[in-house]
Chains A and B, each alone.
Chain A
Amino acid sequence: MFDSELFAATIGTMLGWPGVFYLLSGSVIGMVFGAIPGLSGTTAIVVLIPMTFGMDPVPAMLWLGSAYGASTYGGAIPAILINTPGEPPNAATILDGYPMARKGQAGIALAAAATASTLGGVIGLLVTFLMIPVLSSMIMAFSYQEFFAMALLGLCVIAVVGEGTLLKGLAAGGLGLMLSFIGYDPLTSVLRYTLGIEYLWDGIAVVPALFGLLAVAEITDLLVEQKTIMEPDVEEEEEGQVWEGIKVTFRNLPLVIRSSAVGTIVGAIPGVGGTVAGFMAYMQAKQTCKDNEGFGKGDVRGVIAPEAANDAKEGGALLPTLAFGIPGSSAMAVFLGALTLHGLDTGQDIFLTNLDVVYMLIVALLGSHMVAAVFGLSLAKKVAILTRIRPALYGPTIFVVCLIGSFALRNSFGDVVVTVLFGILGYELRKFGYSRIALILGLLLGTMAETAFRQSLMTDQGMAGFVTRPISLVLLVLAAIIVLAPYVKNYLHRRRRLVGQA
Chain B
Amino acid sequence: MSAKLEERLLTLFILLVVLGMTAVSTGYRAPARLVPLVVGVLTSCLFLGVTVTVFVPRFRRRTQKAEPIPLETFPETWEDEDTEQTAAQRHSEFKIIGSLVVLTAVTYVIGFLPSIFLYVLLFLCFQSKESWWMALAVAGSVLAVVYGVFVQALHVPLHSGIF
Given the interface pairs A192-B25, A393-B128, A432-B10, the reply to whether A407 lies near B112 with Cβ below 8 Å is yes
Is the CB of B97 closer than 8 A to any CB of chain A?
A: yes
Q: Per-position contact with B for A191-229: 1 when CB-CB < 8 Å, else 0?
A: 011000000000000000000000010001001111000
B112-163 interface (Cβ within 8 A of A): 112, 116, 119-120, 123-124, 127-130, 138, 142, 146, 149-150, 153-154, 156-159
Residues of chain A in range 152-181 having any CB-CB distance to chain B below 8 Å: 161-171, 174-175, 177-178, 181
Q: Which of A71-79, A312-320, A394-402 sits within the interface? A: A394-402
Q: Mark A250-280, 1 if CB is under 8 A from B, else 0.
A: 0000000000000000000000000000000
Q: For chain B residues 13-38, which have a beta carbon within 8 Å of chain A? A: 14, 17-18, 21, 24-25, 28-29, 31-32, 34-36
Q: How far is the CA of A177 from the CA of B93 in the complex (A)?
A: 29
Taking a contact as CB atoms closer than 8 A, the residue among B18, B29, B116, B159 that contacts A178 in the complex is B18
A178 touches B39 (CB 8 A): yes
Selected contact of B97 from candidates A174, A424, A430, CB within 8 Å = A424
> Which of A114-122, A238-246, A342-350, A415-423 touches B?
A415-423
CB–CB A178/B21 < 8 A: yes
What distance in Å separates the Cβ of B1 from its nearest Cβ neighbour in chain A? 13
For B25, the chain A residues whose CB sits under 8 A away are 181, 192-193
- With a CB–CB cut-off of 8 A, which chain A residues contact B12? none
Measured CA separation A220–B74 after assembly (Å): 15
Rounded to whole angstroms, the CA-CA distance of A307 and B20 in the bound complex is 39
How many residues in B have their beta carbons less than 8 Å from beta carbons of A?
Answer: 70
A386-437 with Cβ < 8 A to chain B? 390, 392-393, 395-397, 399-401, 403-404, 407-408, 411, 413, 416-417, 420, 423-424, 427-433
Q: How far is the CB of A323 from chain B (nearest CB, A)?
A: 32
Contact mask for chain A residues 471-502; partner B; CB cutoff 8 A; 1 contact, 0 none = 00000000000000011011000000000000
Give A193 to B19 CA distance when docked, in angstroms. Answer: 12
Q: Are A432 and B77 in contact (CB under 8 A)?
A: yes
A225 touches B127 (CB 8 A): no
B92 at the interface (CB under 8 A from A): yes
Q: With A168-B50, A177-B39 as known contacts, state yes or no: A411 contacts B156, CB within 8 Å.
A: yes
Determine if B71 is an interface residue (Cβ-Cβ < 8 Å).
yes
What residues of chain A lie closer than 8 Å to B142, measured between beta carbons?
397, 400
Q: What CA separation (Å) do A417 and B101 show in the bound complex?
A: 9
Chain A, 36-59, CB within 8 A of any chain B CB: 36, 39, 43, 47
* CB-nearest residue of chain B to A219: B96
Given A171-B49, A190-B32, A407-B112, A490-B68 contact (CB < 8 Å):
yes
Contact present for A174 and B150 (CB under 8 Å): no
Is the CB–CB distance between B63 and A165 below 8 Å?
A: yes
CA distance A497 to B42 in the complex (A): 34
Set A167, A169, A407, A490: member contacting B158, Cβ < 8 A: A407
State whether A164 and B71 are in contact (beta carbons under 8 Å apart), knowing that A187-B31, A404-B150 are contacts in the complex.
yes
User: Would B92 and A411 count as touching, CB distance under 8 A?
Assistant: no
Q: Which residues of A contact B3 (CB under 8 A)?
A: 431
A-B pairs under 8 A by CB, number:
186
Which of chain A's residues have a CB closer than 8 A to the CB of B50?
167-168, 171
Q: Is the CB of A175 within 8 A of B130?
A: no
A335 beta carbon closer than 8 Å to chain B: no
The distance in angstroms between the C-alpha atoms of A423 and B107, with both chains bound, is: 17
Q: Which of B39, B100, B108 contacts A216 (CB 8 A)?
A: B100
Chain A residues contacting B97 (CB-CB under 8 Å) are 220, 424, 427
A403-B156 contact in complex given A162-B70, A192-B36, A454-B35, C-beta closer than 8 Å? no
B25, B43, B154 interface centre (most CB from chain A within 10 Å)? B43
Q: Which residues of B contact A178 (CB under 8 A)?
A: 18, 21, 36, 39-40, 43
Contact check, B69 vs A166: say whether CB atoms are below 8 A apart.
yes
CB pair B36–A181 under 8 Å, yes or no, is: yes
| A170: contacting residue among B46, B53, B101, CB under 8 A | B46
Instruction: Check A353 for interface membership: any CB of B closer than 8 A.
Output: no
B83 within 8 A of A: no
A47 touches B153 (CB 8 A): yes
CB of A171 to closest CB in B, whole Å: 4
Q: Which residues of A contact B6 (CB under 8 A)?
A: 428, 431-432
Nearest B residue (CB) for A416: B104
State the Cβ distance, A440 to closest chain B Cβ, in Å: 15
8 nearest CB pairs, A to B:
A174-B43, A392-B128, A171-B46, A486-B68, A190-B32, A396-B123, A185-B32, A450-B35
Identify 20 new A-B residue pairs, CB closer than 8 A, beyond the known A192-B36, A395-B123: A166-B68, A167-B53, A167-B67, A181-B36, A193-B24, A216-B100, A220-B96, A220-B97, A296-B69, A390-B128, A395-B128, A397-B120, A404-B146, A407-B159, A411-B156, A420-B100, A424-B97, A431-B74, A433-B74, A454-B35
A-B contact pairs, 13 of them (CB 8 A): A165-B67, A174-B43, A174-B46, A178-B36, A190-B28, A220-B100, A223-B96, A396-B123, A403-B112, A403-B116, A404-B150, A420-B104, A489-B68
